[in-house]
A and B are shown apart, each in its own frame.
Chain A
């Protein structure tokens, strides 16, 4: 039973915004949503996380739906360096970070 559902792949043009969706319809009230990304030949890298409110940091923004059953990772201006696999992870108390298959983002120059 997958905790989150993401599209297998997406494409974007360089310098355009990218919206990466994630469904987590069985989320409970205390579950956090974490996003990590993995660039080619590197380890996963933390991007952002949130609980209920939208969150912003220097890398991205996280928009969480009002019912918390879905969220969207927003990269405001994609660069070639943003080409990676993006993982949306639902974390409950006591959980360890469990990665699904993620969304492979390709960025076109």
Chain B
């Protein structure tokens, strides 16, 4: 058990809908990262938050947004969903954001199916 909690484990929805994925980082970790894993793209970094502030952006679509709350949990919002958004979404956390060398702890993911 990594200590990172993601809910829900599975989500099935329809095209055009909006969903919210939730992540609770390990106790004491200030950084939260979101990754998307699909069969054709592999594991892709989406976005990072550190202590409530956006720290880095990766391949995140404009239809997607995230935030980190004062209690350090994070939510990833996916809107206007398309079939191609079906993927595993992982959250990870680390103690800080020292740039390049931090060790990440991953949750077990949310499997999103868009029908």
List residues 54-109 of chain A with CB under 8 A from any CB of chain B.
91-101
Is B100 touching A43 in the complex (CB atoms < 8 A)? no
- List residues of chain A with CB within 8 A of the CB of B103: 34, 46, 49
B99 at the interface (CB under 8 A from A): yes
Q: How many chain A residues touch the partner (CB < 8 A)?
A: 21
A34 to B103, CA, bound (A): 9
Task: Say yes or no for B49: interface residue by CB 8 A criterion.
Answer: no
Q: Are B42 and A99 in contact (CB under 8 A)?
A: yes
State the main secondary structure of chain A at its contact with B.
loop
Residues A42 and B43 in contact, CB atoms below 8 Å apart: no
Asked if A96 and B106 sit within 8 Å, CB to CB, the answer is: no
Q: Does A44 contact B (CB under 8 A)?
A: yes
Please give the distance in Å from B45's CB to the nearest CB on chain A: 5
Q: Is the CB of A96 within 8 A of B43?
A: no
Contact B100 A98 (CB under 8 A): no
Expressed in whole angstroms, the Cα–Cα distance for A13 and B84 within the complex equals: 38
With a cutoff of 8 Å between Cβ atoms, the chain B residues found around residue A49 in the complex are 101, 103
A7 CA / B42 CA spacing, docked (Å): 16
Interfacial residues, chain A to chain B (CB-CB below 8 A): 32, 34, 36, 41-46, 49, 91-101
